[in-house]
Structures are given as structure tokens and as C-alpha cells.
Amino acid sequence: MDVLAGIHCPEDLRRLSTAELETLAQEIREFLIEHVAATGGHLGPNLGVVELSIALHRVFDSPREPIIFDTSHQSYVHKILTGRAEKFESLRQKGGLSGYTSRSESEHDWTESSHASAALSYADGLSKAKVLQGRAKDNVIAVVGDGALTGGMCWEALNNIAADQHRNVVIVVNDNGRSYAPTIGGFAENLAQLRMQPVYDSVMEHGKNTLNNMGWVGRRTFEALHAFKEGVKSTVLPGEMFPELGMKYVGPVDGHDLEAVEEALTYAHDFSGPIIVHVVTEKGRGFAPAEADTAELMHTTGVIDPVTGEPKTTAEPGWTPVFSDELVAIAEERKDVIAITAAMAGPTGLLPFKDRFPDRFFDVGIAEQHAVTSAAGLALGGMKPVVALYSTFLNRAIDQLIMDVGLIRQPVTLVLDRAGITGNDGASHNGIWDISLTSVIPGMRIAAPRDGQQLKELLREAVAFEEGPSVVRFPKGSVPADTPAQRRYADGVDVLAHIPSPGEDEGALKVLLIGTGTFSVNLADIADDIAHEGVEVTVIDPRWICPIPDTVVDLARAHDLVITAEDGMIHGGFGSLVSETLSEHGIDVPRRSLGFPAIYPDHASRGEMLADLGLDSAGMKKRILAWIKDLA
């Protein structure tokens, strides 16, 4: 990789010849395949933006001219070109390189959240700041995918950007026809029509040679560009992406033709005012296994063979398939059950539902807010909607859940995958906020299953609930073996362990351990060790963690210490709910809580993060024993 070895900063790119740039693009693809195969990560998206990333850094002066990557899972090439290639062995590992842009890594990284559809709003604000600081000629560049453009926040930002023709915002639409899966909706159809323009077809099918080497989107566009450079205003193409906004549009451009992309971006760089550059790319380009992955084009992978693309480790059965199978079974019995996803039918396990009940499945694009309110409309119409999301993405729809669902008490079921600590994808992907956010909604019910059997039972109970909304949350990772209850109370609370103190001392300290989801199993596993310290231990799993069941109140009244453990934010979480409920009942028993602290953590595996926070079994046992010692 001779050319890549000489790239340490964007300035190095500007010294390369056309031939060297072509070699660099090939070397970057080989580098990505080798390193992402070893660590896992977003391979397909980054293989698709190699030429685009090179051209961006040759044309624009980063970081003076900020380049904002929407979602930023496609920023690996950007990282390589800004001096971080040598760190890729640590990609997504604890203490290593983030899988998204990270402000602590480089001055070239402006944002950190890995949620989609925000880049245009960032660009709007940054461009306003430049104008106010007397730097109006600087460009601000937002790289946004066609999938992200299905999110409403993009349209809100476009409305503001287009309103001011004096700010230099360059909107690069990276159009590969996909998010996780093919992009859906009217906007996707509009993009497809633009791709089918005769000029675009001629370039994609025949290339520059068939156009007598006359440019990047055909002879007509070349003439228009030439005229503009001579100072004559002209229309670049008759077809536009957002004609109603009155913004200049360039494209569609072959995103794998370096010369074409660079010339288009140079045009945008020199243009005065906001402009859209429509670049068509191929996700997974250059890696045959990714190109053959018709479902997701290797959007993200675990550790894989760099030649075959086959996984190197066998994944244990996860939570998502359990949910998927049970929802299909429920839908077989109930014709009113509807499934809704936000551009993630595969990751949330809804593809089997879609295949079995295509008329009862809706993918709304990357639009969680719309998904939740649309579900409320379905419920108002007599249907039973189930909205499947990653927990972290529900954060964007809390207003809709409070005002459009909760206020009118509609029976919408939300199934939150990846709830709790997720790990390698970084701070913004952890699903630690959902209990704190959803538990404040009057009438909300929240379930946290501890194993696969409980997931099936609680999903059925949630779908059957008609008095208001409900949430079923489960973590990332493999499903533990089923843990049968020693006893179930009438309100559904399960006793997982009851261990008298050694010698059955009637005066022994009585400790009640209450865990949410799999944390209840962890507490049961360490109950014997805790009882050996001369205390009586009872471990319960409430199953429904909001509202707090009456049995939890009754058991707390009969114990000397109540300890809660939850896979979520400790502030405003399950422990807080328990404390508030006990206070309402006048119960002054000492209480302690284990949960996620008020921090944005660095990326690490789920196991590493749990251990660091003292939330693995060993860490919880140590802290519980210390609390018991303090009370003894």
C-alpha cells in the first residue's frame, strides 16, 4: 500500500496524480476489508464512499470548512485520510478508535452522535455561526444518505437552509438507495427517477470515453459548467431533487468516478449559496461478499473472513429471533396486530412478519417520531400496533409517545431491542435511557423479561393490554437459559431465590434484591454468597417494572434493606420508581440502587462496560456486601 502509506493529512491528497488517486482508492478498500474483518464494524457503507471521501478532502479545507457526516458510520475513510490509519487495529475496541466520528480523536471530527438525520441541522447552525463571525465565504459540508433523508429533521433543516441564499452550505447526498435495507417511500422513488435520467445512464453505462472525455455528467452538463465558470448563470440539469426549495442542484454524479466527483464538488465549493450535490454510490463496492449480501450489503459485520466474508464466530441465539417468532405467532391468532419499523426491519426481527403479513407491515423510514404517532392512528382505527425499535432510537420519539399516545391512552406496544448497555457502538447507541424516559408517562407499563420464555409471555401480555401504551425491553446479546421462578405472586412478581441466613437466625438482616430483566438472574446467581455473610436473602423479578407491583411494596415492608439493580440509567430509573413508591406508602426501609451512572461512556464491549461500572455479577456482589456491612 505504497500510496496510502504516504497519506497522513488531507494536504497529502492534493499532491497525487490521477493514477495515484485511483491506486489510493483501491488500497483504501483493501485496508478497510482487512481491518474491519478483524474487528467488525460498518464495512458496506465505507466501501461505498471511498472516492467521495477522497474528493471531499481534496476540494474542501477541513477542518476550517467542516465536513459533517450524518450518522457517521461511513466515516472510516475520512478517519484514514485525516491521519488515523495506524489506529484501525483498535477500531471499536475499548480504548481504541471509535466507529463514528469523535471530537476527542481529531479536529476534523465535528460531531459524535450516531443517530441519523441530524447533519443538515448541524450544518445550518455552523453556517450561521460563520456568517456572524465574518467568515461567510467558508463552506460547511453535510454528507447525508438517502436513507437519512427519510427523517423529518432533515426536511426541517432544508427549510431553513433554503431560506437564506447567502450561506455556503454544501449538501452532499450519498445516494446508494439504502439505509440498512432499500430506502422506501416517495422520496426514494423520486431519487430513482433522477438516477434514470438519460445523462446519468450514459455515464454509468458507458463512462467518460463515450462522451469524448467531456466531463462528469455528460456533454450538456459540461457546457453548463463551462458557462458558469465564465460568469454566466446557467442551469446545471433540468431535473432536481428539491425544486420547490429553489436550491441549486448538481447531479446525479457517478460516485465512483473520482474526476467526476471532484469536479462536481469543486463547482459546489465555488458556488455562492446553498447547493445540493447528488452522488450515486454502491454500498459494499469492491468486496464481492458485500455486493452479494442482498439484504444489507454488509451494512455492519462482526469478525469475518476477509476473503469469503463468512463470520469467524458462531453467534449464540439472540433475543431478537425470540421476539420475531412470537410476534408472528400472535399475529396468526389476532388479525388486528400490525408491525411497524423505522428502516430496520432486519435488525429488529420484523422480516419474517413482513414476509408472512405484508399488508400488516409498515416501514416508515428513519422516522421514529412518525412511527409512534402513526401507530397511535392505527390504534385509534381499531388495530393493535407493535412498534419495534432499538432502545436508543426511541429517544427521538418521546414527545410523540407522551402527547400522541399516552395522553389519549392508546394501546400501542413498543418493543425495544438493544435496551441497556450495548457497548462497541459507543455512547449514543447504548439503550440506557428508556426506563427513565418512558416511566414518567401516566398509564405506561414497562416489562423487562429475564429470559426467552418471559419475553414470549410478556409480549403477549403487552399486546393484550388495552388501557394504554406498554413497553417490552430486552438487551443486546445471547438469550440466557430460562430461569424458572420458585413462586409467582398474583400480580406477576416472580421469586427467583429465597435463602435463609446460615443457622436460620431469626434476627438476621433481611435483604430484598430486586432486578430488572437479566439483572434479576445475576442477583439470583450471587444470592448464596450474600447469604453466607449471615443475612437472609430474597431475590425477585417484578417482570412488569412500571408501575411498581403491589407485591414489591409488601415484600419491601418485610425486609431491612432493599437493593435494586437495573440495566439502565440510575437517575429516574427503576430504583427511583421503587424509592418513590415506597415513600408514598410510608415505608422507610433503607434503599440502595445499582445502575448506569450519569455519564456518556466510551465504547467498549458490553461485558467490559458492565465490569468497569461494577454491574457484572462480581461487581454487584462486592457493592451489596459493602452496603450490608455498613448496616450491620
Cell 427519510 belongs to residue: 150
Phi, psi of 277 (to 5 degrees): -115, 115
115 known member of a binding site: yes
227 is in an annotated binding site: no
On whether 263 is known to bind a ligand per the annotation, the reply is no
**Contact predicate 374/405, CB 8 Å:** no
Q: Yes or no: say if 545 and 577 are a contact pair by the CB < 8 Å rule.
A: yes
Distance CA 351, CA 361 (A): 9
Which helix (H) or strand (E) covers residue 611, if one does? helix 606-612
Indicate which residue of 240, 262, 368, 566 is catalytic: 368
Q: 148 among the known binding-site residues?
A: yes
Spot the catalytic one: 79, 178, 283, 456.
Answer: 283
C-alpha 280, offset from chain centre:
23
Neighbouring-strand partners of residue 473: 416
Q: How many CB atoms are located within 10 Å of the residue 395 CB?
A: 16
Which three cell numbers, joined as nine digits, stand for 107? Answer: 479536529
Task: Name the strand (E) or helix (H) holding 574.
Answer: helix 574-584
Q: Is 353 annotated as a binding residue?
A: no
Q: Is 166 annotated as a binding residue?
A: no
Q: What does the alpha-carbon distance between residue 439 and residue 275 come to, in Å, rounded to a whole number?
A: 43
Residue 263 main-chain phi, psi, to 5 deg: -65, -40
Interatomic CA distance for residues 133 and 451, integer angstroms: 56
Q: From residue 388, how far is each of 362, 429, 518, 573 by CA, in Å?
A: 11, 16, 20, 21
- In whole angstroms, what is the distance from residue 293 CA to residue 181 CA? 11
**Is 396 one of the annotated active-site residues of the chain?**
yes
Task: For residue 31, say whether it is annotated as part of any ligand binding site.
Answer: no
Quote the radius of gyration of the chain (alpha carbons, Å): 27
Q: 369 and 152 in contact (C-beta within 8 Å)?
A: yes
Residue 326 in marked binding region: no
What string of DSSP letters covers 32-74? HHHHHHHH-B-HHHHHTTHHHHHHHHHHS-TTTS-EEESS-TT
Q: Which residues of 598-622 are buried (b: 16+ CB within 10 A; e: fewer)?
A: eeebebbbbebbbeebebbbebbbe
β-partners of residue 565 are 515, 594
Question: 495: how many CB neighbours lie within 10 A of its CB?
Answer: 17
Active-site annotation holder among 84, 167, 396, 621? 396
In the residue annotation, 368 being an active-site residue is answered as yes
**β-pair type (536-541, 494-499):** antiparallel
Q: Buried b vs exposed e over 149-163: b needs ≥16 C-beta within 10 Å? A: bbbebbeebbebbbe
DSSP state string for 444-465 = -EEE--SSHHHHHHHHHHHHH-
User: Is position 64 annotated as part of the catalytic site?
Assistant: no
Which amino acids are annotated as binding site, given as ranges?
73, 114-116, 146-148, 176, 287, 368
Known binding-site residue numbers for thiamine diphosphate: 73, 114-116, 147-148, 176, 287, 368
Binding residues for Mg(2+): 146, 176
Where in the sequence numbering do the catalytic residues fall?
Answer: 283, 368, 396
